[in-house]
């Protein structure tokens, strides 16, 4: 198994920390921008997109800071995807930092564009 490439993308979002955290962690919030629907069974989140589904295990979360998932089908124990709320110490501006992993540089570039598109959906939903 080749080593996966970690990539991060930080995007400013004009909203409150509480609203953003709810959009990242609740089924109703996630289904507004990340996927079509979400079911939660204990620590397993099942995400639905246009007839397909993916399961992810909730690894860690900290209220109003971040949520981290591990795709159940991914056999690499070191990979995850994380949605982290960042606050600028001086301006108090809010940003969302996404951390994810890809199999290649090309896939990382493609996945970055997908994340940007999804975060644009998030910004549209919350009016940011």
Closest CA to 61 of 15, 30, 35, 92: 30
Q: CA–CA separation, 120 vs 8, rounded Å?
A: 16
Strands (E), 1-128: 5-12, 37-41, 44-49, 52-62, 66-71, 81-87, 94-102
The pTM (predicted TM-score) of the whole model is 0.91
Closest CA to 13 of 96, 117, 115, 113: 96
Question: 68-82 pLDDT, tens per residue?
Answer: 999 999 888 899 999
Question: 100-121 pLDDT, tens per residue?
Answer: 999 999 999 999 999 999 999 9
- Which CATH architecture group holds 5-126? 2-Layer Sandwich (3.30)
**Where are the chain's structural domains?**
5-126
Question: 28-44 pLDDT, tens per residue?
Answer: 999 999 999 999 999 99
């Amino acid at each position: 198994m080749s080593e996966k490439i970690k990539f991060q993308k930080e995007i400013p979002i004009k909203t409150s920390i509480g609203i953003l955290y709810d959009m990242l962690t609740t089924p109703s919030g996630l289904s507004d921008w990340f996927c079509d629907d979400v079911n939660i069974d204990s620590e397993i989140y099942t995400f639905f997109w246009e007839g397909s589904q993916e399961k992810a295990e909730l690894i860690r979360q900290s209220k109003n800071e971040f949520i981290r998932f591990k795709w159940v089908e991914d056999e690499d124990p070191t990979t995850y995807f994380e949605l982290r709320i960042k606050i600028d110490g001086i301006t108090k501006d809010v940003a969302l930092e996404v951390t994810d992993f890809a199999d290649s540089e090309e896939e990382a570039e493609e996945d970055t564009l997908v994340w940007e598109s999804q975060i644009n959906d998030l910004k549209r939903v919350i009016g940011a």
